[in-house]
Amino acid sequence: MISHMQNTLWQLVRSSDTVTAIVLLILLGMSIFCWTVFLYKLILWRIKKRHLAAVVSELKNAQTLDALLAVAAKYARTLPGVLLSKSLTHLKSLLVVQDGDTRHLSEREIESLDHMVAQYSTMLAIQEERLVPYLSVSANVAPLLGLFGTIWGLINAFIGISHQHSADITAVAPGIAQALVTTIAGLIVAIPASCFFHYLSIQLRSMEQQLNLISDQFIWLTQTLFYDSKKKDI
């Protein structure tokens, strides 16, 4: 039964007109794109989430600047490592004065550092979000493309009926079935794309939370080591 249905669908696709064929090709391209993005993000983010979890765990035990630098060096080429490296670079610019000596930070400087670290975290999250919104676009556009193909097919089917001067079911059914193929194709693209988008969005929020944890831990350690409550803001 299933094999017969597959053969019938394939025959309907092969007998499609130019416009319907173009719609089906576009939907096929969208499907390949959505699956590629999903699998790529799924594999890549699993690795990055492991790095994020490891850095969050190690930062909880970091009590000195040397320990912080060691964590940053260990994960230098990872997502949390980039965040720590950028944050440490900005911290260094605040700590080192012209003669090369280090100093303590005022409350305003701590707030400035906090703001910059938050910006770095947001920028990294935005970079990770790339391509994900296209899944939502595909989920919304695919059914409309399928509907367009169906309407186009129905128009052709009714024109064919008028030419044959017959409304018999055997004359009507093939044209209508062919028209509905694009609707099925649109749903085959849209349903997985919607699932992929929502799943990856949840994973992205989880990564953002871990980036925020790293940022908070970094600021807390900076305050512990370098904040001088007696220092006046200029």
Segment 174-214, tens digit of pLDDT: 667 777 888 889 999 999 999 999 999 999 999 999 999 99
Its pTM stands at 0.83
Q: Which residue has the higher pLDDT, 221 or 17?
A: 221
Token output for 217 = 């831990």
Statement: residue 33 has pLDDT above 90: yes
Q: How far apart are CA 234 and CA 225, in angstroms?
A: 21
List the chain domain ranges. Answer: 26-226
Cα 122 from chain centroid?
14
Phi and psi at residue 232, in whole multiples of 5°? Answer: -90, 140
pLDDT confidence band for 150 (50 / 70 / 90): confident
C-alpha closest to that of 81 among 205, 214, 207, 213 = 214
Q: What is the pLDDT of residue 20?
A: 84
pLDDT confidence band for 157 (50 / 70 / 90): confident
Summary mean pLDDT of the chain? 84
3-class secondary structure, 210: helix
Alpha helices in the chain (DSSP H): 2-14, 18-61, 65-74, 79-95, 107-129, 132-164, 169-226
* Tens of pLDDT, residues 203-224: 999 999 999 999 999 999 998 8
Q: What is the pLDDT of residue 159?
A: 74
Statement: residue 143 has pLDDT above 50: yes
Q: What is the pLDDT of residue 228?
A: 63
- Cα dihedral value 99, 100, 102, 106, nearest 10: 60
pLDDT confidence band for 154 (50 / 70 / 90): confident
pLDDT confidence band for 165 (50 / 70 / 90): low
